[in-house]
Structure 1
């Protein structure tokens, strides 16, 4: 029987965002495969959805565009019929950021397909407290610029008006699909799309304050060549594909447990990760990575590896936390001394080196907090693709790498997860529940 072409081809601008999206599609019954970067060998993959995870959120816009177009070319070669550009639910992207340029480049590259003249931008994820109202992004009950994201070391978000943010990044005219229109259903949203097209709008921020809105948008976007947003928008896509008879209900993904020691690695400075680090440190062993100590030439990686090995190889093996998470003030102090890029790079490289060394010592289960950190770690571990398992917390699934000696991983966006996420994630990786 010939392989059916994938229905959806996705490009994610970081690795935790890719697993977040994969989790959403699997929950909707889509057989989903996530690759780490553009696969080097163009093998056909039997799946309903393919996700190429890039590490492009904070790189130069021209390079981000080049990587996205390479991913798109591979996805089109796989036979994908519709495309999704996934970015963070807090729209992590400064005025010089990558969301606008990548969106425009993808639309240009898809101009041979129907519905490529227009797309939406919707990072809303109500299940995790991200909602869009009148084009303004809320995190919980506060605006984006009051949520802690204004202190992000790489992509400080100081403006909650996404129309303004996106307009600074693009040559295209930006519009808005207001919530009162979304509330009227898919037909009304499609009519709003047509009105915006007539006004020469190419990208529209789409309001969403509930899962019902996301289902509406999923159906309304069925004829668009490209959809952009957070993983929340993908909530409505499986139902849309199923309503047209293109998607059958998939069986739950079952993944066998993986034996071996475990470690938690945290590079994010977000409020959520800070709370998770504090909860862990209250009763369990931890070691802090200090970028200033690394810059002074201290053997920080060796010390961290020795600390972890001493705990998981002792008489009573324990997982440990290796973390760089600290206060916004401490982050800014390190950035003043080292520069923003170098401070972040030192932390990423150190945590990647720790992961590589611990893997060599037998660690096969990794919980990683932070999109940039997760990207550095999976690259250091040589992970090529992931199978997606059960949801741990909204937006974060348990995963297992493909290959002869698979690893169990939970890759978490810095802003996601409850305070007990680290302990909970290790429990899921131990059991690998379907």
Structure 2
């Protein structure tokens, strides 16, 4: 192997961790960092994931931060860059998927690239360019109520075209299903028509195999984490990996455990309710908060006595109507910033109080927690299913984390994740 086979640019920490976990599960030696300055210091690695909190920041800031990471990965010799975003294509008409992709095309010199958000195993599929969550169009799912990136148009060709001056086209399912020379020919024909961005129909896992074979030599590819799992077999078949598969088991971490939740996704609300059956949960109502400091003080006063008896949960998550009320009071960005400030301050206080096991729900929330804890790199364990990826800091007093996407994971994830941190060999 020469250099790094894959450099991943993730637009949030939960997705970045999931991507790294999938590569680790496939036997790839994968490093995970949150700061581009750590890329060079990450040591030999077949893949490197740089996860930054760029999904919903201003497009210009997302572009500049991602470009810095991309150039660091290219300097390490990454033969391909992969821009990772959410399976629900979280973005607005201003970005950030389109603007970041435009920059990466320029930096890599890629002539074309693909967009593959699908995760068929999770019933996130694209057909005729339209994004489905199960049997529902994304525009008819709860995702239409997302407080930051509501998805109200299911046609990803239209969604992406509003974000970029590049010509966007579709590789529909019949040509994806044909694969091989037919698929390569379709790309060449459409590229000759000026199309540079391809939305990729994907409804089966076998479609991902065909897409991986098509794109494994492209300078740039984009999508959800799921497609990344399909690259290692292609790399091995093409002799790009000289080392045998790498097996990684995380060290056990004991100490107090806490769940911190900022996601308002329906799945997270269900997980909180399940966790509360056996553990105390404090729900912070942002519409009644006087200040972040007062909310943090009250939460700590509630939690500290209870931590001696086991894990606790603290949440700023809420149903859509409560989120709307908080946004009416503070503004959309103000409400999100307040929630992240509260959870970030709590994480710092809990770590000082001896908490060493954290489950954090929500991509933006996870970014705030990791940033406030000053974590710049993590050892990521193998993927165990949606939302079950785990990691440990690499220092003398390690902290274990499970950074969970708001929309993913089994209902009983919180308690299971905290328990698995104490015995990773038995993790689900």
Task: Give the deviation of 1:256 after TM superposition.
Answer: 1.4
* Aligned partner of residue 183 in structure 1, secondary structure: helix
| C-alpha contact (below 8 Å) 1:16/1:371 kept by paired residues | yes
- Aligned counterparts of 1:17 and 1:285: Cα–Cα separation in 2: 28
Mapped partners of 1:157, 1:145: distance in 2: 6
Q: How does 1:288-327 map to 2 (within 5 A)?
A: 288-295=283-290, 299-313=294-308, 317-327=309-319
Name the residue aligned to 2:143.
149
User: Which residue of the partner structure matches residue 39 of structure 1?
Assistant: 37
Confirm whether residue 239 of structure 1 aligns to residue 233 of structure 2: yes
Q: How far 1:197 moved relative to its partner?
A: 0.6
CA distance in 2: counterparts of 1:160 and 1:81, whole angstroms: 33
Please say which of residues 123-132 and 83-92 is displaced more in the overlay.
Answer: 123-132
Give the structure 1 partner of residue 6 of structure 2: 8
CA contact (8 A) 2:254 2:421 kept: no
Contact in 2 for aligned 1:277/1:325 (Cα 8 Å): no
Task: Tell whether the 8 Å contact from 1:311 to 1:318 is kept in structure 2 after alignment.
Answer: yes
Unaligned runs of 5+ residues in structure 1 are none
Q: Give the C-alpha shift of residue 251 in structure 1.
A: 2.7
**Aligned pair partner of 1:287 in 282, 286, 290:** 282
Q: Deviations over 1:364-405 (max 9, x none)?
A: 110000000000001111111111113343253111122222
CA distance in 1, matches of 2:42, 2:381: 22
Is 1:346–2:341 an aligned residue pair? Answer: no
Change (3 A) 1:101 1:304: same
**1:377 maps onto 2:377 in alignment:** no
Moved more, 390-399 or 334-343: 390-399
Q: 1:100 aligns with which of 98, 102, 107?
A: 98
Once residues 107 and 421 of structure 1 are traced to their aligned partners in structure 2, the CA distance between those partners, rounded to angstroms, is 38
Tell me the alpha carbon deviations over residues 15-66 of structure 1, each in whole angstroms, 9 at most, x when there is no partner: 0010111122122221111101212573252111001011000011111110
**How far 1:295 moved relative to its partner?**
3.7
Render the CA deviation track for 1:227-270: whole Å, top value 9, x for unaligned: 00000111211111111011244232111101111100110001
Deviation at 1:297, TM superposition (A): 6.6
Deviation (angstroms), 1:133: 0.8
Deviation digits for residues 348-379 of structure 1, max 9, x if unmatched?
A: 01001001000000001100000000000011
What is aligned with 1:167?
A: 161
SS for the counterpart of 2:70 is helix
Q: How does 1:35-434 map to 2 (within 5 A)?
A: 35-39=33-37, 42-43=40-41, 45-111=43-109, 116-247=110-241, 248-295=243-290, 299-313=294-308, 317-433=309-425
TM-score, normalised to structure 2, is 0.96
Which piece of structure 1 moves more, 242-251 or 375-384?
A: 242-251
Supply the distance in 2 between the matched residues of 1:41 and 1:395 (Cα, whole angstroms). 25
Distance across 2 between alignment mates of 1:62 and 1:339: 21
SS in 1 for 2:33: strand
> Would you say how many aligned residue pairs link Structure 1 and Structure 2?
425
CA offsets 1:109-128 (integer angstroms, 9 cap, x no match): 112xxxx1100001001122
Greater alpha carbon shift after TM alignment, 269-278 vs 279-288:
279-288
Distance 1:297 1:312, change over 3 A: closer
SS at match of 1:337: helix
